[in-house]
Structure 1
Amino acid sequence: MKIIKEYLDSLFLTVPITPETKKAKEDLLAIMEDHYHELIAEGKSEHEAIGAVISEFGSIDEILAELELEQEEEYESYDDVESVTLDEAFDFWAVTRRFAFELSLGILLLALSMASIMFIGFSEIFAFLGLFGFAILVAVGIGFIISGSMKYVREKRKLDDRPLARDVHKEAFFQLENYDKSFRMGLSLGIGLCVLSIPTLFFFASIVYSAELGVSTFFATGGVGAFLIIYTSIVRNGFKKMTNGQYFVSDEDHPGPRATKHSYGAAAPLMITMRKFYWPLVFLFYLFWSNLTGWESSWIIFVVAGIFYSLVSETFKRHK
């Protein structure tokens, strides 16, 4: 049901906020939810029902035409930039999957390297194999992390601050819903393994009387759990990026000029200026104040600055 609401929110991104459009959006949500429940009653699965509801409703232009409402003009012209196409979206999702796998595998190998080094205390041959395995696993693991990250960053830069085509929005919601079951299973299993690694440690240390084996098993089990959590979360976030807003945002903390203007309207120049100078100025003030009054409690400056920044951001943000 959350997917349906998010999809409807994405359709109304460029619709002016009026009592009529709010009422139309609420009515459409009620109709879509009713249709969803009808399909569930007919024996459709949750995924099939959501997919059918989304596919049976037309584009926002058709919906607004039927409701005799108008879509507001874009905040800026797209003449200087092309929208992200469906092919580019699929390419991005493929790169995201590779990045998720390489990053997760790299972290798993680092965890296994810690597991292998625990064997150095058993015998000389185990010590050699443990150190050799540690060195190899660390090198390969870091290699995977760096390689995957560089490819992923390059792909995000290609799409950054570009408007998302409507068919991309729609396909992203389909992909997000389709992956939801895999995400829940992977996340649950990953958390379960991470939790299981703790009693496993105590079991080998207390029952088998082998602390080394306990720590080794702890890292191995936790590493597999971390692999599942990180992999499924990154893949899901790749789909989610194509459903959040009208523009592709590479870095959520530093959206581009177009995405910022879409979110903040006339206040966009203020927010862009704040992102450039606010935190450096806060840091300089922190150094000045700490030297003046002492370092014991001056860290509170960052807490207050963070709260103030969030308040300013929310105050000027355009809420659809």
Structure 2
Amino acid sequence: MTGRGRAVWRFEAIGTRWEIETAEPLDPAARAAASAVIDRFDREWSRFRDDSLIARLARDGGSVPAPADAADMLTAYAALTDATGGAVDPLVGDALAHRGYDATYTLVDRGALAAPGDWRSRLTWDEGVLRLAGPATIDVGALGKGRLVDLVCAALEPWAGGDLVVDAGGDLAVRGPAQRIGLEHPYDPSRAVGVWEVTDAALCASAVNRRAWGERLHHVLDARTGEPVRTIAATWAVASTAMRADAIATALFFRGGEQLAAAWQVAWVRMGTDGTVDWSPGCPAEVFTGSR
């Protein structure tokens, strides 16, 4: 399929819609390489399939071979936890399941459940081994999709010739010509909060209207309480990698996210549930409305 005179490969994976845009159609070997990367990541990190490494740890705890991404992802999680005072925690999976966002998508709320806290005393990674002291459900949703976008982008760059857009449900990486990307209004998909021109970088977004259910429930929980965030509606972040952009898009729902974004040199835009919009100093996005 083609769009705007370019080749577009569309497919579903990890519960979201992907669009990969290139100057020329990707050959079968390139598509196979990208699919293998996605399959490997899903088999290791998905809490929605019972044969993943994460599912094994959730049932039994103990040790499993550490995925190649473990050190980078969990080190970034440590920074998120420190910046947000514990609000972002990779052991939030059981809390999400308790609110209904479980492996079978029951969407039945059984009440708030806080994450165990001090996850680094329970979850360790070294010498090729990932260890969890006791059963618990790891959830890498704060930055995992961004990490996978980076991996798919790296797998396809040899075939794409430096002209590539990898978009996984709004988390995307751009290589080559600049892309103007609309920042979708969380309460009205026909409107945009602004436009951001992205070149050789990644843009990730998070919003409470995505993966929402029941009585004001959604996927962005404060791990300290198990309660959904109520004051922030949507965030957007641009960074050199999609993993960092995804991480900051999550961190911005909590106090301390702005400071981590500054430390990582990540630009951002954020919309509150009251409709106000703010953004990072020097942010190059064109924001249509808002207040500082």
TM-score normalized with structure 2 length: 0.21
The structure in which a higher percent of residues are helix is 1
The structure with higher relative contact order (CA 8 Å, sep 6+) is 1
Q: If you compute each CA radius of gyration, which structure gives the higher value, 1 or 2?
A: 1
TM-score (norm 1): 0.20
Structure number with the higher strand fraction is 2
